[in-house]
Amino acid sequence: MNKKTLYLFIACLLPSFLLPGQWDKYRFETARMGSPFRIIISTQDSTGLTHVVHEALLLAENLENQLSDYRLESDVSKVNQLAGTGQFHPIKEPFKAILNESLLAYQYSHGDLNVFLGKLVAAWRKARKTQVLPDQKQMQNWLEELKSPCLEFNKDSSGIRLKQTACQLDFGSIGKGFVAQRVLDYLVKKSFPYALVDAGGKICATQVNPAGEAWKVGLELPNSRNVSSDYLEIKNQSIASSGKTYQQVNIGGKIYSHVIDPKTGLGLEHARSATAIAAHGARADWVATAATIMEISELKLLLQSLPEVKLLVWEYQNDQLEILLNHGILITD
């Protein structure tokens, strides 16, 4: 990749044009988790494809119904509603899987990526609508309560409870990557092994065909929504990014990201962005988010614990771009 990619931010899929001898690509799109949700299948035999994709989209919907706190009847909402009551709520396998990865993220990030910040996340959602800063005293009270353990499993780990009322689960930093990976795995299981799933820019892919052709993923210029002609090639990998290009709010002349600093309760103010590549969608998703919060020295230690992860972190201020960390993504001279 040439040096122009120093200015890039992951955005969307740029499919190859069909040429003689290539496998046909079939595209399907809906909306899930508040974002476009795309499936692209590369195949020479489309028999049964529509049915399998329909089932895959139902799977995505089912996972959203379990894991989204936007859904009042979801498992995560019910767990949150019972916080502090002492009652356990039963959880299904996908819930347990995403929770375990979230706890791993908390451990590896030394608390900088905290799945229990749901109350603060909700407060900042409201702030983006009202453009009024959340009550800082209330946020500090929540942060103080969060210093105590939040989670407890029952004896056979089939149910969980949140021990403090301030503890509220939010899978926003991991959910899209998790769902994209589950849908991709389902497509492979159903005999469509060459596929790509894009959940709002959290992309999981196998390869395009048996020859090992890679999918081409477009990149976006930081602090803009312009797509560059440069791209990354992805196969049997997942890629995700985090930054404040989209979900941000201007309050009192300060621009706050949707990503929350768990030390202060405030949305991040810096212009840092990150792109992560990993073997699993959930991991790429949370590592990209964590990379916008953690110190660079801490990220280097994190990457020692996750040797399969590639990471690019940069900050863009005063029309100047500074690469803070390039771990296996950019090819430099």
Nearest by Cα to 222 from 242, 200, 250, 198: 242
Query: Is 75 annotated as contributing to ligand binding?
Result: no
The CA-atom distances, in angstroms, between 217 and each of 12, 76, 237, 297, 328 are 6, 32, 12, 29, 16
Query: Is 289 annotated as contributing to ligand binding?
Result: yes
Number of Cβ within 10 Å of residue 129's Cβ equals: 9
Eight-state DSSP code of residue 17: P
Q: For the chain, how far is it from start to end, CA to CA, in angstroms? A: 10
Instruction: Tell me which amino acid residue 238 is.
Output: S
Number of Cβ within 10 Å of residue 153's Cβ equals: 14
Whole-angstrom distance, CA of residue 277 vs CA of residue 322 = 20
Nearest by Cα to 74 from 63, 60, 85: 63
Query: Is 30 annotated as contributing to ligand binding?
Result: no
81, 89 Cβ separation under 8 angstroms = no
DSSP code per residue over 110-140: TTSS-TTBHHHHHHHHHHHHH-----HHHHH
The CA-atom distances, in angstroms, between 184 and each of 34, 214, 264 are 19, 15, 37
Helix (H, G, I), strand (E, B) or coil at 76: helix
Q: Which residues are annotated as a binding site?
A: 173, 285, 289
Q: Which residues are annotated as a binding site for Mg(2+)?
A: 173, 285, 289
